[in-house]
Structure 1
Amino acid sequence: MDMTLERKTFSGRIARGDESFAVVFHVSAGADFRLKIDVDPLPTQTLFRLQGAMGDPGSYAQSLLLEGEASDGAMFFSERVEVRGAKFGSSGNDITVSALKATVTVLRSGPILRPVMRLWLRSFKSHRNPIVPTSLGKMEVWGNHKKVPKDEVSGSIAIHADETTDLSDWRARADDFLSFMHRGLAFAHGSRLQTPRLDIHFEDRCEATFYDGNAFGPGLPPIHHHNHGPFIKALAARYDDEKPFPDMLWTAIGWLQSDTAFDEGRFLTSMTALEAIVEHLIPKTLTTIVPKPEFSVVRDQLLDLVEASSLAETAREILKGRIKGLNGRSLSQKIEALRDYYGLSAKMFDTASIVAMIKLRNDIVHTGTAAKGDFWPKIVFVRELVSHIMFHEVGYTGPYESYLDGYKMVSAEEDSEASDPVDEAADPPALTESLPSSS
């Protein structure tokens, strides 16, 4: 199946702010889904004006608008074009540009009855997943189960509207659904998943939106790629649940997936992830020592005593600030409350390990050193804790990979769902729509 974008020539304009210039450019993309834009030589004054968008060293570059139409009716549009280089010469003035995000719309040879949306994934591994019915249509997740090069486009998530699907506002809802699934699969994958392209097939056309970026390094996947099926089902069901999913959990998982080789950095971002969860996912009543109405009486009495004292104004202000925070539990107590709130094992996530983890974090933050710091076990501890919270929020009870106190595959009662009927083909996905070829 040819999923490349053949070289097309577009005539249109390139704009910097209120200034707009006529331009002819050529666009193509290979099997790596990396968009290549070649701009025909420009007049000297035009190139001079566009070159200024590069900005000064240390400052932000200004994004340009680039749009055009091809002779076959295809359209190109991007508001995220950046100038990478400019060359003035007697043989022509050349500009090098790249698009952080760009949409190419091509016409189909015939209309499609029901819309399809597919989000492609780079360096993704998965195997034999069931096609899952959802409120938006049939959803499939495909991935290469063999050895996958880091930068290869090796998987996708797609939603296919069917005859029972409500198509009102389908496009926006499908986009939100794929974003949810993408985040969930990145969690299962153990590291961030770069998305090089989003395809939308509808009526008589196909829109392919390209995203610039590189694949991320491997992580510790909490779900083995052979066991994605039950987790995919749980994710899809959770999206359709009326209970809102806590967005802060996605933010925390993003912190957890920090792509750095330094264990100190991994540990600190892991702790940031955990603290974000503590502050946003459990009831505020579990983060205080006594109920707020009771504390407010004591707080006001203490504030009055300090205000009536003969202490210097600066000292009074410092003490009043500390009094206002007296009712907050310590971080270790908050993490224990988080553990208990989700019903997690106090043996697996014991208090001594929590206290030691916080001490190490405080040593690094406040002194810059950790004399007895063994970061990796504590990084794994946080990842395991967050993984179990994610399992709880998604409603997943299937098999998972554990790295706490050594690697092991943990089976669960509902791991039999992985044997559901699936398409045996590993490549390509059975329901994929191709980009229409140039005529």
Structure 2
Amino acid sequence: MKRTFFWTVYGLLLAAITIGGLEFVASFLTPPWPAYDLRPIDAAAAPIGQIKALAGMPDLIPRYNSWGLRDRERSFSRPADVRFRSVLVGDSFLEGAFLRAPLAQLVEQDWRARGMRDGEAINLGVSATGPVQYYYRIETVALKLEPDAILELVYPGNDFVRDRFSPWSIPPLVAERPEPSLLGAVAPHLDWLIVNRLGLSEFGRGNKPIPDEFDILNDVLQKPRDQRAGLLADYLGKNYFPGKSRETMREILGRGGDAFWAAFEHRKQDPEFLQGWLLASMIDWETGTWPVPHDSAEADRMVDMSEVDSTSSWLLAADRLATANGVRFLLAVAPMGSVDPRFAAFWQPWPRFYSINLARDAARRRLLAELRRKGLQPIDLEEDLKGVSGTYRLTDGHWTQRGTEIVAKRIADELAEARTRKAARAK
């Protein structure tokens, strides 16, 4: 018994010393707080500025603040001249890739234009994250800003989750921050470093690390149009699908004809770019054999309600968390790009790939109904975007500058109304 006790204590002490030492070393290799609790990668404009395809487009090179966010510098203490402070939480739709200005900046511009110069819209938008990270981002960072309102933006294309919210669940050994984990509880820097280096985050899992891929793919656009599909098929065969027929991939990539290639040429506003994940997804879906919906009615019948229930549990938990801390919670739900007539027409040659929009939009409708049934009143952004052409980027499905401006106007209005209600209650 004494020997067992000795070795147990010895092992625990050795583990503690080892983890402590690694945490000390890791603290020099990770971004400072809150950056390491906000995103799983280092955010810097320099590597993006070196992409050849972005040459001559300096307004598309994002600038990140010291928190690793696409925003101006912020402080945790509220500035003396700020009477209404809001925080926007979401993913790449808030971060604003390939946009001159992210949505939060446009919200503040809208407020200033109407004379509201004492409001803040802090951007906590981080690409490749979802409702799980949103919840913990609110808990660990947003609430520490002592905001008057928190707005969470959900995109149905990739924000549905399968695991329900549970405050009693046992955390994993390692997890993408700010999600809780056993290691993160005692060594947050080491946890971040492991996730970052091993690509364990949603960002890391969703992006294949191929050096210079962005420029390699967009260099293909400099070749004659009749050669491009073949060149891309060769690239995808080498890097993504070594077992697939080059001829099959060439046929899929060439279906759009000149209309597809024209989308990438001679566009000063909202330029489109070839991206590896997009091309790989096109091939994967168009050669897939799993069932896909052919219309909205069929998509509605195929909705996985357990997924809707799990996702709504995280959104309702975020509402409870904010409300318990005296903060007004707003939830905005974006529609799929299929509400944009130009986007819908562009993707017609690829019906299986386009079916993602049908499926996710059906799930979005069910999610809205479920949230309303449980007392939350989400902001349905379809009301603002439906039928408006040119609001979604044709390739990656994010908002164009026009789409972002339309949504920013709606969000600015909703937050201004929240401010008015708060002032009325204070009287």
Q: Which has the higher helix share?
A: 2
Q: TM-score, normalised by structure 1?
A: 0.25
Structure possessing the higher relative contact order (Cα contacts under 8 Å, 6 or more residues apart) = 2
Asked which structure has the greater CA Rg, the reply is 1
